Structure 1
Amino acid sequence: MCGEYRAHANDTMPDPPESHSPGPRSPAEVREAVRQALDSARRSRGPGATTDATAVGDVLLVASELTTNAMLHGGGVTAFEVIPGEREVRLSVSDRSDDMPTPVRRAGGPGALQIGGHGWPIICLLARDIMISYLRAGGKRITAVVPLSPR
């Protein structure tokens, strides 16, 4: 697991609010929602406001990886939320699984080509903070805070 995240294993969070959609159907839908939220936040800051392109790429990558992991390992996405701030973006993805994320153990040593298992390490690298909370009705919510300034 990440060495720098906080897992709220004993806490239970309220379930995500009921939504008319079952959650995003693909990482592409999540990326589009993040782009729209970032564009809206930038416009609200006024003319001339910009966001670092590398930081936006990092946010989009974390959103994609959280969503992909929920779809592949968590029984599907049950809720998604993006909250842009002035200096960071908070991304939350809920899924049906109570299992905590774990990195994949690699066989073959350095340089061996391995497919899959890179998502969680990427999230851990790019997020400033990660919180994992169990939901009352089952499942978990992973929230990653990604800075909007270059690393």
Structure 2
Amino acid sequence: MCERHTTEPAYEPSGAQGSGPTRLCRPAEARRAVERAVAERCRTTHTSCDPQALGDAVLVASELTSNAILHGGGVTDFHVDIAGPCLCVSVSDRSDEVPVARPSVDAHGRYRVGGRGWPIVCRLARDVRVSELPAGGKRITAVVALT
């Protein structure tokens, strides 16, 4: 689990359906959404986009989406937003299970396949929060610095 990881209940405001969040199913769609949001921010603020920061944000969105598909029963909601110098990406899925970082080797010293996504998210994100959803499942929100 991330050191900066917290778990908290998430309450959806009534009538929030249909505004803001987008339903995405694939990591490629999540990557494109992040690229569009960052490009729009750079265009409207007349600032240059840091390619490394954009790459970090794209990777975090891709990993969260992939993990929701592989371990969470599928993506149920996706949202990306820019708040000042940071990008905030939220991915919801059907699982109540909190992500856990697993050792890269098993008890016999053999390297495991996979299991790198959550540590990548934890390393690249400034903050990571896991929220329980009222109807079941969870939302993972990661904040990535864009500067």
- Identify the TM-score tier after normalising by the shorter chain: 0.7 to 0.9
Percent identity, aligned pairs only, is 46
Counterpart in the other structure of 2:124:
126
Using the alignment, how far apart are the partners of 2:28 and 2:145 within structure 1?
Answer: 21
Using the alignment, how far apart are the partners of 2:17 and 2:65 within structure 1?
Answer: 18
Query: Which of 94, 97, 100 is residue 95 of structure 2 equivalent to?
Result: 97
Distance 1:95 1:85, change over 3 A: same
Per-residue deviation, 1:133 = 0.6
Distance 1:82 1:12, change over 3 A: closer
Equivalent residue letter for 1:34: V
Per-residue deviation, 1:114 = 3.1
Equivalent residue letter for 1:83: D
Query: Which of 67, 70, 78 is residue 69 of structure 1 equivalent to?
Result: 67
Per-residue deviation, 1:4 = 1.5
Provide Cα deviations, 1:96-143, integer angstroms capped at 9, x if missing partner.
11110011233154xx54321000000000001011111111111100
Counterpart in the other structure of 1:31:
31
Using the alignment, how far apart are the partners of 1:142 and 1:98 within structure 2?
Answer: 11
Counterpart in the other structure of 1:4:
4
Unmatched segments (≥5 aa) in structure 2: none
TM-score normalised by L of structure 1: 0.86
Q: CA RMSD in A?
A: 2.0
Query: How many correspondences in the alignment?
Result: 142
Per-residue deviation, 1:32 = 0.5
Provide Cα deviations, 1:45-80, integer angstroms capped at 9, x if missing partner.
13xx11211010000000000000000011100110
